[in-house]
Homo-oligomer: A and B are copies of this chain.
Amino acid sequence: MTTGTMRTGAATGAAGEDTRSRLLATALRLFTEHGAEGTSLQMIADALGVTKAAVYYHFKTKDEITEAVAEPGLRELAAVVEEAATFRRRGARIDHLLTGFVDIVVRHRALVALFSSDPGVARAIEKTLHGEERFEKRLIALLAGPEPDTSTLVAAHVALAGIALAGGAPALADLDDESLREALLAVGRRLMGRPRPRA
* A residues at B contact (CB < 8 Å): 119, 133, 136-137, 140, 150-151, 153-155, 157-159, 161-163, 165-166, 169-172, 175, 179-180, 182-184, 186-187, 190-191
**What chain B residues lie within 8 Å of A155 (beta carbons)?**
183, 187, 190
**Which of B158, B175, B184 is in CB contact (< 8 Å) with A187?**
B158
A165 touches B165 (CB 8 A): yes
A183 touches B154 (CB 8 A): yes
Q: How far is the CA of A157 from the CA of B112 in the complex (A)?
A: 15
Q: How far is the CA of A172 from the CA of B180 in the complex (A)?
A: 28
Q: How far is the CA of A42 from the CA of B184 in the complex (A)?
A: 46
Residue of B nearest to A184 (CB): B154
**What chain B residues lie within 8 Å of A137 (beta carbons)?**
171
Q: A153-B183, A155-B190, A190-B190 are in contact. List 17 more A-B contacts (CB 8 A).
A: A150-B182, A151-B186, A151-B187, A153-B172, A154-B166, A154-B184, A157-B172, A158-B159, A158-B163, A159-B162, A161-B161, A161-B162, A161-B166, A161-B169, A162-B166, A190-B191, A191-B191
Of all A-B residue pairs in the complex, the 7 with the closest CB atoms, nearest first, are A162-B162, A158-B162, A161-B165, A154-B183, A157-B166, A119-B119, A158-B166
**What chain B residues lie within 8 Å of A180 (beta carbons)?**
150, 154
Q: How far is the CA of A76 from the CA of B137 in the complex (A)?
A: 32
Q: How far is the CA of A162 from the CA of B175 in the complex (A)?
A: 20
Q: How far is the CA of A157 from the CA of B151 in the complex (A)?
A: 20
Q: Which of A136, A166, A186 has the most CB of B within 10 A?
A: A166
A36 to chain B, nearest CB (A): 11
**What chain B residues lie within 8 Å of A171 (beta carbons)?**
136-137, 140, 157
